[in-house]
Amino acid sequence: MLAGLWAGVLLCVVAIAAPSAFATLAPADAGRFVGRVFAQEAYLSLGVAVVLLLVERQRSQAASGTGSVFSANILLLLGTLFCTVGGYFAVQPMMEAAQAGQGAVSFGALHAVSGGLFVLKGLLVLALAWRLTRLRTAATS
């Protein structure tokens, strides 16, 4: 259920919070507001991914006994961590520098990279939620 809620948060950020801010606030204010929303989402994503990694690792160990706990679910979670760290903690500071006229890459290009990583993270979380729902349904049948 946690993965599904996480997917819902990501969808709310991209489909409700960001468009609403730019529809009602001045562009500079909307940018600051959305930046804060994405900061909170990034830390939430880190926390949820770590919790789900621990749960999935424990579940995999219990299912396989000893041996590798590397699974498709672990790979999906590692992908979400990569997208979060890359998109927010690496690209976001470069976007701020580009907006200030510094850096070799334009703000628009960095914004596209950041947006692409966010979309990829959303797809990975949706795939994870679907896989975990399938596992839970199979376990109860």
For residues 88 and 83, give the distance between their C-alpha atoms in angstroms, rounded to a whole number.
Answer: 8
Q: pTM, whole model, 2 decimals?
A: 0.89
Which two three-digit tokens encode residue 5?
A: 């809620």
For residues 83 and 77, give the distance between their C-alpha atoms in angstroms, rounded to a whole number.
Answer: 10
For residues 97 and 10, give the distance between their C-alpha atoms in angstroms, rounded to a whole number.
Answer: 25
Total Cβ atoms within 10 A of residue 45 = 24
Q: Are 122 and 7 in contact (CB under 8 A)?
A: yes
Read off the amino acid at residue 7.
A
Listed residue (54, 49, 110) closest to 82, CA to CA:
49
Which pLDDT does position 139 carry in this prediction?
Answer: 64
For residues 6 and 113, give the distance between their C-alpha atoms in angstroms, rounded to a whole number.
Answer: 21
pLDDT in tens, 83-119: 999 999 999 999 999 999 998 999 999 999 999 999 9
- Is the pLDDT reported for residue 123 higher than 70? yes
Which pLDDT does position 138 carry in this prediction?
Answer: 65
Q: Are 45 and 80 in contact (CB under 8 A)?
A: yes
End-to-end CA distance of the chain, in Å?
18
